[in-house]
């Protein structure tokens, strides 16, 4: 399960625009994977310094600069200078605890979105921030770790038959966001299955362990909502944006991905309702069990206490106890006790306490 937050307090009091990388520290060198394409031709290179990026800023081709790693500050600063990015934009790219947002800086659009994917090792989900810069010729994506979920987009770019090769940077950004949103559903489906499983488990045994599963699912849904809900506002802002960087024919695609995000949010809301319902179910099962236990206790006590009292009576040592001398006394007492127990038993059966 993801932690509640990452530390950002060591940033407190620094000048706005001061570049400082907030996030896990990496030591691998930062590389920029470049895909530079038109409908006809495609170039694929890996660069390590800003100077090598300059050619891609020229007009004519669509270039995707995929920056994997944020700990090389000079590189990031260099990119900022090359594409004339606002200092606050650079600061936001480096602070991986941003909330999803979208800003229109006239010459470029800036997005921050959370990428979610499953950690195959322990079946938890990983949250990673991806920032996009969209200019007319270039898309720059920034992320902390080299692994990502963009391979399907890369495959499509490599194959000239796909539509993506014929369309501009706006469609590329759309394709990247679309993959991210598709992955939300992957996570949501896993959670949905876990919820269905936990209901089965809890009906079998309303144990502490199974309640813990509900508890963890609630926590995960809280965090999913925190990450996914603002994405809807980002895409809405984009629809209403008057920027010419997004062409009208691409807007229908952004509209579509917006619909998917809405659907994801509705799924999350249903999950919360269902989990609340499961909490109630758990409580009712626990309650029911306590009731059963108490009823068993009550039945046992109510049957044996009077019997124990009766045998106690004839265990007294009074010299003058006529019954003790009766020949059938002992057997009469047994008879009385059996009748008493039987009546109690019938009474409890009738009141459905047994």
287 lies in the site for a second copy, by CB under 8 A:
yes
Footprint on residues 6-35 left by a second copy (CB under 8 A): 7-9, 11-17
Q: Which residues contact 189 (CB under 8 A, 6 or more apart)?
A: none
> Which residue lies nearer to a second copy by CB, 205 or 244?
205
**What is the Cα–Cα distance from 73 to 84, expressed in whole angstroms?**
16
> Which residue lies nearer to a second copy by CB, 47 or 274?
274
Q: Alpha-carbon torsion 172, 177, 180, 185, what sign?
A: negative
> Which residue lies nearer to a second copy by CB, 195 or 245?
195
Residue 147 CA, distance from chain mean position? 19
For residue 346, count other CB atoms closer than 10 A to its CB. Answer: 11
> Which residue lies nearer to a second copy by CB, 7 or 81?
7
Stretch that binds a second copy, among 40-48, 60-68, 130-138, 148-156 (CB under 8 A): 148-156
Q: Which residues contact 332 (CB under 8 A, 6 or more apart)?
A: 323, 326
3 lies in the site for a second copy, by CB under 8 A:
yes
We find the least distance from the C-beta atom of residue 27 to a second copy, in angstroms, to be: 25
Does residue 180 come out as left (phi exceeding 0), alpha (psi in the -120 to 50 range) or beta?
A: alpha
We find the least distance from the C-beta atom of residue 276 to a second copy, in angstroms, to be: 9
**What is the Cα–Cα distance from 345 to 339, expressed in whole angstroms?**
10
Q: Alpha-carbon torsion 14, 17, 23, 27, what sign?
A: negative
Show the binding pattern over residues 239-278: x = contacts a second copy (CB under 8 A), - = does not: -------------xx-xx--x--xx--xx--xx-xx--x-
Q: Which of 184, 152, 148, 175 shows the shortest CA–CA distance to 260? A: 184
> Which residue lies nearer to a second copy by CB, 30 or 181?
181
| Backbone φ, ψ for residue 152 (5° rounding) | -60, -35
Footprint on residues 189-228 left by a second copy (CB under 8 A): 189, 192-193, 195-196, 205, 208, 211, 215, 218-219, 222-223, 226
Footprint on residues 84-143 left by a second copy (CB under 8 A): 86, 88, 92, 97-99, 101, 103
> Which residue lies nearer to a second copy by CB, 244 or 280?
280
CB 191 within 8 A of CB 220: yes
319 lies in the site for a second copy, by CB under 8 A:
yes
342 lies in the site for a second copy, by CB under 8 A:
no
Stretch that binds a second copy, among 36-44, 71-79, 176-184, 240-248 (CB under 8 A): 176-184
**What is the Cα–Cα distance from 188 to 98, expressed in whole angstroms?**
22
Which tokens hold the place of 85? 């990015």
Out of 24, 39, 283, 354, which residue is the one contacting a second copy (CB under 8 A)?
283
Considering only CA atoms, give the Rg of the chain.
34
> Which residue lies nearer to a second copy by CB, 38 or 293?
293
317 lies in the site for a second copy, by CB under 8 A:
yes
281 lies in the site for a second copy, by CB under 8 A:
yes
> Which residue lies nearer to a second copy by CB, 64 or 271?
271
**What is the Cα–Cα distance from 354 to 351, expressed in whole angstroms?**
8
């Amino acid at each position: 399960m993801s932690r509640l937050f990452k530390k950002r307090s060591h940033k407190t009091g620094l000048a706005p625009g001061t570049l400082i990388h907030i996030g896990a520290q990496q030591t691998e060198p930062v590389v920029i994977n470049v895909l530079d394409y038109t409908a006809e031709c495609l170039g694929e290179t890996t660069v390590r310094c800003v100077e090598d990026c300059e050619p891609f800023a020229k007009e004519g081709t669509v270039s995707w600069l995929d920056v994997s790693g944020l700990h090389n500050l000079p590189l990031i600063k260099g990119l900022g200078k090359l594409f004339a990015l606002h200092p606050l934009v650079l600061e936001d790219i480096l602070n991986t605890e941003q909330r999803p947002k979208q800003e229109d800086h006239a010459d470029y659009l800036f997005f921050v979105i959370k990428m979610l994917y499953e950690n195959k090792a322990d079946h938890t989900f990983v949250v990673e921030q991806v920032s996009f810069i969209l200019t007319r010729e270039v898309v720059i994506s920034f992320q902390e770790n080299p692994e990502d979920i963009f391979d399907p987009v890369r495959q499509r770019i490599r194959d000239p038959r796909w539509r993506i090769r014929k369309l501009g940077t706006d469609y590329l950004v759309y394709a990247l966001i679309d993959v991210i949103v598709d992955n939300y559903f992957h996570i949501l489906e896993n959670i949905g299955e876990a919820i269905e499983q936990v209901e089965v488990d809890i009906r079998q045994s309303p144990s502490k362990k199974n309640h813990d599963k509900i508890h963890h699912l609630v926590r995960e849904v809280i965090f999913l909502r925190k990450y996914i809900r603002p994405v809807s506002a980002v895409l809405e802002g984009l629809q209403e944006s008057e920027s010419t960087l997004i062409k009208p024919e691409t807007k229908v695609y952004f509209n579509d991905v917006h619909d998917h995000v809405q659907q994801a949010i509705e799924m999350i809301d249903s999950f919360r309702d269902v989990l609340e319902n499961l909490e109630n179910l758990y409580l009712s099962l626990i309650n029911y069990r306590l009731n059963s236990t108490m009823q068993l206790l009550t039945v046992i006590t109510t049957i044996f206490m009077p019997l124990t009292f009766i045998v106690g009576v004839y265990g007294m040592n009074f010299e003058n106890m006529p019954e003790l001398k009766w020949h059938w006394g002992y057997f009469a007492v047994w008879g009385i006790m059996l009748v008493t127990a039987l009546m109690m038993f019938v009474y409890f059966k009738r009141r459905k306490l047994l």
